[in-house]
């Protein structure tokens, strides 16, 4: 289904399964996705300011598989205990964002990421599969004040210029941080 350019700020999805939907250029500011699954969807150019991309519901959490987040605006958003598989965050504008307890597998990031936290801490205590370590590519991203807490960066590609200037980033002391 095509929901391009939809105006749906504040929409709540609880335990939903959303498959092959297009939300391009839609306004989903303050979205709340609780234990919701998105498969084969596109949010290209959408606004997700203040969105809760995942809020756990008991032991259930949100899943994003094969989702296109190209040119998405994510400011002041958060994501607690979620799984991202084969997702593209290309040319994103992301700031003051918290990915707490989210795992990423075969995902790519480009664009501007500022004051973004990737944390291995899970609020529900669920076992995470990768903590941002399985084929995750940040090599084309502009990272500013980005934190990686309690995770292993072995499977992560970082921008070359960023790796060469660790001292310019106050939260990182080395390219491999673990819990």
28-58 per-position pLDDT tens digit: 999 999 999 999 999 999 999 999 998 767 6
Residues 6+ apart with CB under 8 A from 39: 17, 18, 19, 20, 63, 65, 66, 67
Does residue 154 carry a pLDDT above 70? yes
Yes or no: say if 172 and 144 are a contact pair by the CB < 8 Å rule.
no
Assign 124 a pLDDT band (cuts: 50, 70, 90).
low
CB 59 within 8 A of CB 38: no
């Amino acid at each position: 289904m095509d929901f391009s350019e939809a105006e749906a700020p504040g929409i709540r999805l609880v335990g939903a399964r959303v498959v092959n939907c297009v939300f391009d250029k839609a306004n989903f500011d303050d979205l709340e996705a609780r234990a919701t699954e998105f498969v084969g969807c596109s949010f290209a150019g959408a606004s997700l300011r203040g969105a809760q991309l995942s809020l756990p519901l008991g032991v259930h959490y949100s899943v994003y598989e094969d989702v296109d987040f190209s040119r998405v605006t994510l400011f002041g958003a958060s994501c607690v205990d979620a799984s991202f598989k084969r997702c593209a965050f290309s040319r994103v504008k992301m700031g003051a964002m918290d990915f707490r307890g989210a795992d990423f597998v075969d995902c790519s990031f480009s664009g501007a990421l500022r004051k973004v936290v990737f944390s291995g801490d899970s609020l529900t205590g669920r076992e995470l599969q990768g903590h941002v370590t399985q084929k995750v590519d940040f090599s084309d991203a502009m990272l500013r004040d980005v934190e990686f807490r309690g995770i292993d960066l072995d499977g992560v590609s970082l921008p070359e210029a960023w790796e060469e200037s660790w001292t310019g980033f106050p939260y990182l002391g080395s390219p491999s941080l673990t819990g």
